[in-house]
Structure 1
């Protein structure tokens, strides 16, 4: 199949990568797993053994009612928790092949909806927010825009930094959440070739 390249001749790409069907359930699974992997388990309590404080026996063994060792036990106020909660991992296992199929599915759907724009290059001579805004206006994109470059330069990052909802990544940092959350995705020809090589 052919991809239209803005300002250049069309690019021949794989039907399997850019023309496949949209697998909604798989995309949902992969996006959810990606977001879950970024979560940090923060719930934590101290068990009896982790409490600070003396372990000295606070009263004699006999003659004082119930026998006890120290005040760190869960039955005392300020003591440890019986089954203390600990941070847990929210990671979900996703096979590498399934992950690639999901990315392929998202890219193909972006192309079908005409939300994937391909340009010959994404380069700026110097960091300039004004030049970046003009470039985006020229490409007729709005909303949340993801710029994907094969080797994103510092000037490109700095130019997009002050514009709301514009995100610059290289191919290696491409992820399902960024793709799904973008209104438009702009890729360079080199980035398209790299993505095709990765997903083929």
Structure 2
């Protein structure tokens, strides 16, 4: 299949397997959830009854005082332990490399079908000025894109830093969450070829 390159009047020949794949919502959902879970720290920790500092002395007699209690470390008391205390854990989910790449292909293909994938010859700014980048994006008719370049320049990163809905990634930094969350994806022709080599 071919992708139209904006502003040049020519088309870029690409693989159907990467940019023409059928969309699988279940696969994409699984990969996105796994990617987000991998970023979770999982460091939450609470003290259980056995770990709280304090005396274990029985503070009242067994009978004649209402409820029976052992010590003040019980969960019902202020300063006591936590029932079913949270402990550090890993939220990581295993995703095969083949599944991950297939999900990226599915997302790119769906973006292409919806007309939200825009391919340009090159995308850069001469100096790190947000105003210059806003003007460039206005020419392409989008203000909340994910910009994917083969190797993004420092000026482009700095120009986009102050725009809350604009992200700049190189091909190595591409991930499913960024692709799914983008309103439009602007890719340079070189980046398209590099992505194709990676996913083919």
TM-score with structure 1 setting the length: 0.83
Residue in structure 2 matched with residue 168 of structure 1 by the alignment: 168
Q: Return closer, same or farther for 1:115/1:76 CA change in 2, 3 Å cut-off.
A: closer
Equivalence map 1:69-80=2 (5 Å): 78=79
Residue in structure 1 matched with residue 31 of structure 2 by the alignment: 30
Query: Which piece of structure 1 moves more, 38-47 or 126-135?
Result: 38-47
Q: Return closer, same or farther for 1:82/1:26 CA change in 2, 3 Å cut-off.
A: closer
The 8 Å contact of residues 51 and 80 in structure 1, kept in 2 or not, is answered as yes
Residue in structure 1 matched with residue 159 of structure 2 by the alignment: 159
- Runs of 4+ that moved beyond 6 A: none
- Any idea what the Cα deviations from partners look like across 1:63-95, whole Å, max 9, x if unmatched? xx99xxxx8976996565576430222211111
SS of residue in 2 equivalent to 1:114: coil
- Cα RMSD between the aligned structures? 2.5
Residue in structure 2 matched with residue 126 of structure 1 by the alignment: 127
Q: Return closer, same or farther for 1:126/1:40 CA change in 2, 3 Å cut-off.
A: same
**1:43: Cα distance to partner?**
3.3
The 8 Å contact of residues 47 and 85 in structure 2, kept in 1 or not, is answered as yes
Residue in structure 2 matched with residue 181 of structure 1 by the alignment: 181
Equivalence map 1:80-159=2 (5 Å): 84-142=85-143, 144-159=144-159
Residues matched between the structures, number: 190
SS of residue in 2 equivalent to 1:121: coil
Q: Which runs of 5+ in 1 are unaligned?
A: 59-64
Alignment partners' CA distance in 2, 1:150 and 1:123: 11
Q: Return closer, same or farther for 1:170/1:73 CA change in 2, 3 Å cut-off.
A: same
**1:37: Cα distance to partner?**
1.7
Q: Return closer, same or farther for 1:79/1:164 CA change in 2, 3 Å cut-off.
A: closer
Residue in structure 2 matched with residue 197 of structure 1 by the alignment: 197
The 8 Å contact of residues 146 and 186 in structure 1, kept in 2 or not, is answered as yes
**1:131: Cα distance to partner?**
0.9
Alignment partners' CA distance in 2, 1:121 and 1:168: 13
- Any idea what the Cα deviations from partners look like across 1:5-64, whole Å, max 9, x if unmatched? 1122211111110111111110111111111222232431224675557x9x98xxxxxx
Alignment partners' CA distance in 2, 1:150 and 1:75: 56
Residue in structure 1 matched with residue 47 of structure 2 by the alignment: 46
- Any idea what the Cα deviations from partners look like across 1:157-184, whole Å, max 9, x if unmatched? 1111122301111111111111111110
The 8 Å contact of residues 133 and 159 in structure 2, kept in 1 or not, is answered as yes
